[in-house]
């Protein structure tokens, strides 16, 4: 987890896993350390209170405590009902799911087999010792919870591989995942190396007995020997795709920002990637700190998408997957950005990305929605619906890619449920010409969840997923369900106090 935030900013934050009521859906923006999380809004406070009231009332009828009820399918439904009551009817949820546990379980069971391919997952290497990750725990121990000093090691383990498997593969309906890393000027600060991603992929797939985990290799243009590392990755690691940060190191003011359309620096890499047949490149865009213009002078411009059209036009055989859909409206008050969207239909940087295919006649530009969908869904669901509507209208329903940025936010199941239940309000459909998203397992959502990205990796939901439905991982999941442990509903990261 990279940390852009200053000590002054950190003092206004708290560990996400220690704030809130273990809601199935977060009721605060959770930061992965790359941006400032906004304070909990009045509407989010109302959602949190309503979730607690519903869980207390329904849990009592079922003989369950609040935490036990919130782990259940009915508890998940209650969270979305509370959001509808506060934000308006954006999510599809039936009252029966809350009052009748069998109805909620039946719905979950019917959707459990849906092909879900998460294109952005993270965990940290076991020997990761970046003290920035634990700085908030230390602050909390000094100021309001001394017992945390005994648990800092445990807090770090929550980001590691063992818990990653539980949160992603056992506690959610995710079928296949793509492990991603980040670029760092100092290799010692890396959350995970290219070698470790490849080794983890091989280990996990051997255990699972099928191809359940894919991996990136991170490219770092401009650093000494970076093209040699690309050759090494092609020859030895054989990544499934590439990952790059045009801002360079997201942890510091990097010495190595770069543009996608830099012919001298980056085009030799594209040539190698195409020749090797590894022609999907995932690029971090957007998601900057709230004070990016001051804190990232000379760097923040590299997070925009103005370098994309020429690169995509010059390299038509490369799939350019733009992570986070270049989305950044949560970096200011969400109501301000939501108001701009409601007024004009424009979402900063995301709308710029969505316009590129039409304006430039390109078909090889894609939008991945990790973190962007998560944070907009819990602050302003209409904005989340507008984001999807904007991307689909501009880029095509077949060019929007599912990703969750987990395990930073705990199990991705709440994000899966949010997309399954989300619908673009009719007034937004009429005003901006958006098409409806449709059923939880309808054509549009199935495409986003897995169908759109599967061809990049020679995957097919029917050809590849059906044969592995009874692999070792599914057997593990069956045993896990029988244990009754259930989802923790914990989110990992930083929230504003």
Residue 147 placed within a domain: no
> Which among 49, 82, 113 is the end of a domain?
113
Look up the domain containing 100 and give its range.
18-113
The Cα–Cα gap between 87 and 83 comes to 6
Q: What is the pLDDT of residues 351-397, one digit of tens each?
A: 999 999 999 999 999 999 998 998 888 888 999 999 999 999 999 99
Q: Cβ(153)–Cβ(219) under 8 Å?
A: no
Can you give the pLDDT at residue 397?
97
101 in the same domain as 170: no
Regarding whether 102 and 171 lie in a shared domain, the answer is no
361 and 215 within one domain: yes
Residues 187 and 248 in one domain: yes
d(CA 413, CA 322): 23
- Based on the fold, state whether residues 198 and 214 are members of the same structural domain: yes
pLDDT of 302? 96
Does residue 109 sit in the same domain as residue 181?
no
- 92-146 per-position pLDDT tens digit: 999 999 999 899 999 999 999 999 999 999 887 766 656 454 443 343 333 333 3
Q: Does residue 99 sit in the same domain as residue 165?
A: no
Q: Which of 416, 404, 373, 496 is nearest to 30 (CA)?
A: 496
* Gap between the terminal Cα atoms of the chain: 20
pLDDT value of residue 200: 93
How many whole angstroms separate alpha carbon 283 and alpha carbon 217?
12
- Does 182 lie in the same domain as 53? no
Determine, yes or no, domain membership for 7.
no
The answer to whether position 493 is within a domain reads no
Instruction: Give yes or no: residues 30 and 121 share one domain.
Output: no
Tell me, what's the pLDDT at 283?
98
The answer to whether residue 39 is domain-embedded is yes
CATH number at residue 464: 3.20.20.140
- How much is the pLDDT for 139? 35
Last residue of a domain, one of 58, 79, 113: 113
Sheet holding 400-401, edge to edge: 117-121, 176-179, 213-219, 241-245, 280-284, 319-323, 365-368, 400-401
Question: Is residue 339 domain-resident?
Answer: yes
- Same structural domain, 406 and 452: yes
The reply to whether 4 falls in a domain is no
445 is a domain residue: yes
- With beta carbons less than 8 A apart as the criterion, state whether 26 and 411 touch: no
Does residue 121 share a domain with residue 90? no
Residue ranges of the chain whose pLDDT lies below 50: 1-4, 131, 133-154, 331, 467
**Are residues 94 and 121 located together in one domain of the fold?**
no
Q: Are strands 400-401 and 365-368 parallel, antiparallel or unpaired?
A: parallel
Residue 491 lies in a domain: no
Q: How many structural domains are present in the chain? A: 2
């Amino acid at each position: 987890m990279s940390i852009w935030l200053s000590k002054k900013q950190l003092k206004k934050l708290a560990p996400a896993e220690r704030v809130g009521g273990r809601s199935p859906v977060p009721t605060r923006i959770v930061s992965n350390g790359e941006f400032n999380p906004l304070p909990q809004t009045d509407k989010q406070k109302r959602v949190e209170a309503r979730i607690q009231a519903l869980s207390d009332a329904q849990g009592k009828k079922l003989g369950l405590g609040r935490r036990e009820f919130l782990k259940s399918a009915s508890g998940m439904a209650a969270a979305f009902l509370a959001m509808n009551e506060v934000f308006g009817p954006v999510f599809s949820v039936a009252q029966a799911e809350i009052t009748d546990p069998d109805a909620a379980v039946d719905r979950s069971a019917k959707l459990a087999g849906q092909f879900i391919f998460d294109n952005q997952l993270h965990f940290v290497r076991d020997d990761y010792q970046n003290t920035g990750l634990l700085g908030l725990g230390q602050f909390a121990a000094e100021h309001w919870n001394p017992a945390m000093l005994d648990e800092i090691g445990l807090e770090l383990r929550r980001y590691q591989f063992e818990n990653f498997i539980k949160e992603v593969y056992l506690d959610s309906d995710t079928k296949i995942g793509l492990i991603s890393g980040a670029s760092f000027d100092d290799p010692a600060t890396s959350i995970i190396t290219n070698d470790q991603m490849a080794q983890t992929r091989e280990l996990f797939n051997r255990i699972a007995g099928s191809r359940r985990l894919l991996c990136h290799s991170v490219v770092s243009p401009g650093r000494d020997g970076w093209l040699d590392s690309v050759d090494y990755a092609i020859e030895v690691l054989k990544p499934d795709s590439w990952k790059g940060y045009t801002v360079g190191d997201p942890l510091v003011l990097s010495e190595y920002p770069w543009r996608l359309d830099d012919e001298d620096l980056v085009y030799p890499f594209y040539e190698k990637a195409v020749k090797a047949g590894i022609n999907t490149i995932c690029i971090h865009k957007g998601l900057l700190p709230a004070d990016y213009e001051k804190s990232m002078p000379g760097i923040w411009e590299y997070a925009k998408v103005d370098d994309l059209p020429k690169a995509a036009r010059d390299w038509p055989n490369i799939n350019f997957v733009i992570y986070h859909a270049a989305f950044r409206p949560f970096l200011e008050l969400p109501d301000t950005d939501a108001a701009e969207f409601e007024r004009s239909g424009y979402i900063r940087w995301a709308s710029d990305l969505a316009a590129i295919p039409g304006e430039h006649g390109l078909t090889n530009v894609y939008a991945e929605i990790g973190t962007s969908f998560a944070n907009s869904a819990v602050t302003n669901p209409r904005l989340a619906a507008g984001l999807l509507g904007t991307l689909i209208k501009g880029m095509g329903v077949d060019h929007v890619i599912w990703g969750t940025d987990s395990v930073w936010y705990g199990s991705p199941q709440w994000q899966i449920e949010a997309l399954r239940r989300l619908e673009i309000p009719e007034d937004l459909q009429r005003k901006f010409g958006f098409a409806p998203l449709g059923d939880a397992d309808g054509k549009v959502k199935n495409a986003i969840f897995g169908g759109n990205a599967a061809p990049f990796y020679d995957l097919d939901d029917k050809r590849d997923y059906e044969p592995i439905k009874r692999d070792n991982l599914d057997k593990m999941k069956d045993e896990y369900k029988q244990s009754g442990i259930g989802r923790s509903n914990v989110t990992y990261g930083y929230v504003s106090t």
